[in-house]
Copies of this chain bind each other. A is one copy, B any other.
Amino acid sequence: MIDADMTLEETAEGIRSMGIRGAGRIARAAVEALDVHAASLPAATLDEFRAEMRRAADLLLATRPTAVSLPNAVRSVMRTLEADIPLDEVRSAFHEAARAFIASSTGAVDRIGEFGARHIRDGDVVMTHCNSEAALACIVAAHRQGKAIEVFATEVRPRNQGLLTIRRLNDEGIPTNYIVDSAVRTFINEADLVIVGADAITVNGAVANKIGTAPIALAAHEARTNVVVAAETYKFAPLTTLGDLIPIEERPAAEVLPDEVAATLPHVRVRNPAFDVTPAEYVDLIITEVGAIPPSMAWLIIRDYQGWSIEQFHRPFERA
């Protein structure tokens, strides 16, 4: 899925334009691009290498503001540059960190699928939204275990990622109902469980995910239907422990209204936020690769599993 020959600029553009999408895929693509870039970088000194790699990292970090998987992934490889060791050892450490991240990200999805599948009972009807690798891993794993399940999947305006989801479910032979986004409340009483992914999870367990997730969670809460979020630990946003808010990316108007139509409507402005925020009280469980947790445990994931300390937060790179 990741093309190692893609240049750094191509990867950045691919993320920006949503050719590469999904928080996990974005993270792996960015690390892959940095790895390739590092391998071919003709730096003479360690300082030169560091400076150039930081420029490269900044290019990638600037593409999408909301998905925290991107800075988390970039940081996890970039910190190998800080060691005071010879340039070739740094190159080698960087490469190893990049491969390790990609392997662990892929493994995390499998593990989440294994855990999440246990949460789905034979006969369950599951509602999902957008096209989350981790959420689909749970559904597919349950289906492969022979459980008779059925899915409700949404269209996901304005980019229609729901089409990718129903293709995937159809390929697995899972009976699937396809509905417009605004039909979620109508069908929630037919669902036993909601499973969605996450783009970022804050320190208090709020979940930033594709626009439309919060209305599903609200409707599920109204109908006493459990909501499960499937998310790798690198989706948790460390800077929210310092009070930061998750920035919500607002994408181009043309995704919603063609420019030629918009031009005829001077009093109309398109608002196109790509994500919304589901409060922790509507989320029953977050399934990560280190186990299932309640949303309020997000702080511990950041502290004990991502390994952030307050001091680190104050170093300039991480905030930049």
Q: Which B residue's beta carbon lies closest to that of A279?
A: B284
**Residues in B neighbouring A152, C-beta threshold 8 A:** 271
Report how far A157 CA is from B179 CA in the complex, Å: 10
B-chain residues with CB within 8 Å of residue A107 when the two chains form the complex:
none
Interface size in chain A (residues, C-beta < 8 A) = 85
CA distance A119 to B242 in the complex (A): 9
Which stretch of A32-40, A73-81, A83-91, A110-118 is in the interface?
A110-118
Residue of B nearest to A281 (CB): B281
Contact of A215 (CB < 8 Å), options: B182, B224, B256, B300: B182
Is A20 close to B, CB under 8 A? Answer: no
The CA of A121 and the CA of B248, in the complex, are separated in Å by 13
How many copies of this chain?
A: 6
Q: Report A134-177 residues with CB < 8 Å from chain B CB.
A: 152, 154-158, 163, 166-167, 169-170, 173-177
Q: A-side interface residues toward B, CB under 8 Å?
A: 114-119, 121, 152, 154-158, 163, 166-167, 169-170, 173-189, 203-205, 211-212, 214-215, 218-219, 222-224, 240-245, 256-257, 261, 264-273, 276, 279-281, 284-285, 287, 290-300, 310
Q: Hey, which chain B residues are within 8 Å of A298, CB to CB? A: 294
A215 to B187, CA, bound (A): 12
Contact partner of A245 (CB less than 8 A), chosen from B119, B214, B219, is B119
Closest Cβ neighbor of A269 among chain B residues: B177
Q: How far is the CA of A17 from the CA of B233 in the complex (A)?
A: 44
Known: A265-B170, A267-B170, A294-B298. A276 touches B158 (CB 8 A): no
Q: Which 5 A-B pairs have the closest CB atoms?
A: A182-B212, A115-B243, A204-B294, A118-B243, A241-B291
Docked CA distance A215–B188 (Å) = 11
Complex: A229 Cα to B256 Cα, angstroms: 27
Assess A266 versus B170: contact at CB under 8 Å? Given A218-B222, A299-B293. Answer: yes
